[in-house]
Amino acid sequence: MDVNELWQKIKDKTKLTYEQFNEIYNLVKKICEENNLDFDSIDFENGFDWTLSFDELKQAVEMSLEYLKKVEEAKETEVKKDYSEAINRAKYLWNRIKDKTKLTYLEFENIVKYVYDICKNSGLDFDSIDIESFDWSLSYYELISEIDKSIGLFKTREFSEDEIEAYERMATQKEEEYYKQEFEKRIEEIKNSTINELEKYYKNYYEHIEAFLKNQKVNGFFIIGNAGIGKTFNLLKYLKEKGLKFELVKGHYTNLSFYKTLYENRENSILVIDDVITLANDKEKVSLLLGALDDSHMCMWNSTSPLTADLPRSFSFTSKIFVLANEFNEKNEFLKALKDRCIYYELSFSKQEIIEMLYILAKYKNYPLEIVDYIKELSENNVIKNLSLRLLDKLYTYYDNPNWKELVQEIIEIDEAENLVYELMKSGKSVKEQVKEFMEKTGLSRRTYFRIKEKIRGKFGAKVPSARGV
């Protein structure tokens, strides 16, 4: 396409004069000829950001064509690469990125491949690069340039471990700042919105419940999640909204009353067993529940205690059972057997998500938002053990007291070991230094340090800065 035809397509997108555009056109042509690049393959219309000034465009053209030259040179020398990892990640991220960028999917995929190449060539962990936090408002070639300035530094020379560690600390700090800004934006949106619903946080939970109720092969659904995050409430809410009858099993049951409950709900019914841990130490109840969930679906009364006349010694159980617990202990054989027989689902929220939900609850209950502001403030520098949706009601009654913040601090449960690990993770110290200080201050093992660290990453949505090798 000649320069005049291109100008007709581009003139409404740019502030350049025709003469300036023509100069850009000829510059591209010249660079292509000098470097044996295919001029006809250059996408003038979509390949450049025509909102840039004349000088900015000249610089962008020179940088982008230099990159194309590198690509062409690489094609001639390298063996075919396996980009499946990069392509899979691009497909996964595209739905999150596409509304933030003017890039096409293919351009976005090429950016991800470029990052993948840099990581492979420099020994960086591709999975550790937060692609989502890139500035996706930039043009394709601006992004390439920014990537070269940051991640691409590692291609230019060998870095010492200390330099790499310092760079990664800087990168994780920037990542934390980005997520903190995004979190603050969401909080402001919640505060200023007249309509906020908690249901969106439980969307996946509801969909799992729906899929289980349609399942004709499995009759057990095992739900694990911290106390006070809405496991039971939202399950019962869903069942009620769907008009489904259910029996809630909660509190103390004798073996006979539990057997009778199973029998009375053996067909076309739904049982909800809240806090199954209360059954875990009773072999009779465990045997009954596992029998109901086993492939045979047979419940058998093996106790020497007599049955009442209205109960048989065995029966087939084909109803649905929801089993809920606050935690899963891998050493508990009953829980492992239960998990094996059921669809297993973990309901969990990051610290940020719980605080967002607390703001929504406070608005719904007409509680002062200052209460949640203070919870948020405390959680920024502490690991709060009892951070849950129930915390709001517990703190509300203190609000009228002039010293309410001091009183609240006394009932907020801070996990000292987790708190120390959290502070060390943010300290910028090397992993060895972190572990050493943790062991000296607590007397606990290196293994405990890493176990707690992994737990914190789960709570904080893995957005905690850390040193290299974590």
pLDDT in tens, 216-240: 999 999 999 999 999 999 999 999 9
β-pair partners for 273? 249, 323
Q: Residues 260, 248: contact at Cβ < 8 Å?
A: no
The pLDDT confidence band at residue 209, using thresholds 50, 70 and 90, is: very high
Q: Is 300 helix (H, G, I), strand (E, B) or coil?
A: strand
The residue whose two tokens read 């089993």 is 323
Mean pLDDT of 49-55: 78
345-354, 440-449, 461-470: the lowest-pLDDT one? 461-470
Of the given ranges (270-274, 307-311, 316-320), which has the lowest mean pLDDT? 307-311
Q: What are the pLDDT digits (tens) for 177-201?
A: 777 788 888 899 898 887 778 899 9
The pLDDT confidence band at residue 417, using thresholds 50, 70 and 90, is: confident
Question: Which range, 61-65, 224-228, 462-466, has the best average confidence (pLDDT)?
Answer: 224-228
Q: Report, as an integer, the average pLDDT of 378-394.
A: 87
The DSSP call for residue 414 is B
Q: What per-residue confidence (pLDDT) applies to 155?
A: 47
**Model pLDDT, residue 361:** 94
Give the chain's mean pLDDT: 82
Instruction: Give per-residue pLDDT as tens, 79-108.
Output: 456 788 888 888 888 888 888 888 888 788
Rounded mean pLDDT, 374-389: 87
Give yes or no for residue 394 having a pLDDT over 60.
yes
List of residues 6+ apart from 276 with CB closer than 8 A: 289, 323, 324, 325, 335, 338
Instruction: Evaluate if residue 24 carries a pLDDT over 70.
Output: yes
Long-range contacts at 185-191 (CB < 8 A, ≥ 24 apart): 186/352, 186/356, 187/355, 187/356, 187/359, 187/376, 190/356, 190/359, 190/360, 190/363, 191/359, 191/363, 191/369
Mean pLDDT of 253-277: 92
- Give pLDDT, residue 74: 52
Q: Is 384 helix (H, G, I), strand (E, B) or coil?
A: strand
173 falls in which pLDDT band (50, 70, 90)?
Answer: low
Instruction: For residue range 139-168, list pLDDT tens digits in order.
Output: 877 787 777 766 655 444 455 565 556 656
pLDDT of residue 69: 59
Question: What is the average per-residue pLDDT within 40-50?
Answer: 73
What pLDDT sits at residue 464?
Answer: 44
Task: Give the residue-averaged pLDDT of 358-362.
Answer: 94
298-300 and 314-316 strand pairing? antiparallel
Q: Using alpha carbons, list the distances in angstroms from residue 59 to 13, 27, 351.
A: 19, 11, 44
Q: Where is pLDDT greater, at 454 or 78?
A: 454
Residue-level pLDDT at 156: 47
pLDDT reported for residue 456: 74
Helix 54-77 with 140-149: angle, nearest 10 deg = 70
**Tokens in use for 91?**
């497909």
Instruction: Give residue 345's pLDDT.
Output: 95
Residue 271 has pLDDT above 80, yes or no: yes
Residue 78: pLDDT band (50, 70, 90) is: very low
- The CA-based angle 187-192-195, given to 5 degrees, is 100
Of 57-61, 66-70, 77-81, 262-266, the range with the lowest mean pLDDT is 77-81
Q: At what angle do helices 105-122 and 140-149 cross, to 10 degrees?
A: 20
- Kindly calculate the radius of gyration of the chain based on its CA atoms and give it in whole angstroms: 30
